[in-house]
A = this chain, B = another copy of it.
């Protein structure tokens, strides 16, 4: 009933079954959680969802896209984006939530990453997702900046990339846990870093000749 001019053919054919979409996303998620990741094939996803493979490809362009959508859905559902204006508080909430969710969906994220590294389309999508996450963090940092104590704005990109970098790095290499302690430490570090350098010395970087 979406035409404003009243279609003679109100609707032909079966509609897209929303339950099927959820089943596929859930199956992908579940398989990634349960198995080692090498068992997540298009066939197994389809079978686990009780779905034909073609249905999968009718709605997503590739396997990676399915994983990606599952990931985005999780990210949006689980990660808070509080903007109270209090830098330390906002940052803590955001990072704690992000780290927790990332840890829970580690194999999902790494599965998506793997796909993205092999498939340009998925890569672009994942890049977009990463950019949107950066934007969220950027907004938190800038909000605090505007509302108060922070004057340095140039190195914000570095700070952001350090943050998500640490996140992905620990996801990949598991060099240390991504728990609340890690979040707290990182919050301190970022705040220190963003404050005006106590030393009067400004890093006099004269421009680096970017390509």
Instruction: Give the nearest-CB partner of A154 in chain B.
Output: B185
Copies in the assembly, this chain: 4
Cα A187 to Cα B117 in complex, Å, equals: 29
Chain A residues 179-211 with CB under 8 Å of chain B are 179-182, 184-189, 191-193, 195, 197-201, 203, 205-211
Chain A residues 105-161 with CB under 8 Å of chain B are 110-111, 113-114, 117-120, 126-127, 130-131, 134, 155, 157-161
Cβ of A165 under 8 Å from chain B: yes
Q: Main secondary structure on chain A at its contact with chain B?
A: helix
Q: Which stretch (A1-9, A42-50, A55-63, A92-100) binds chain B?
A: A92-100
Chain A residues with CB under 8 Å of chain B are 36-38, 88-89, 92-93, 96-97, 100, 110-111, 113-114, 117-120, 126-127, 130-131, 134, 155, 157-170, 172-177, 179-182, 184-189, 191-193, 195, 197-201, 203, 205-211
When the two chains form the complex, which single residue of B134, B166, B174, B180 contacts A208, counting CB atoms closer than 8 Å? Answer: B180
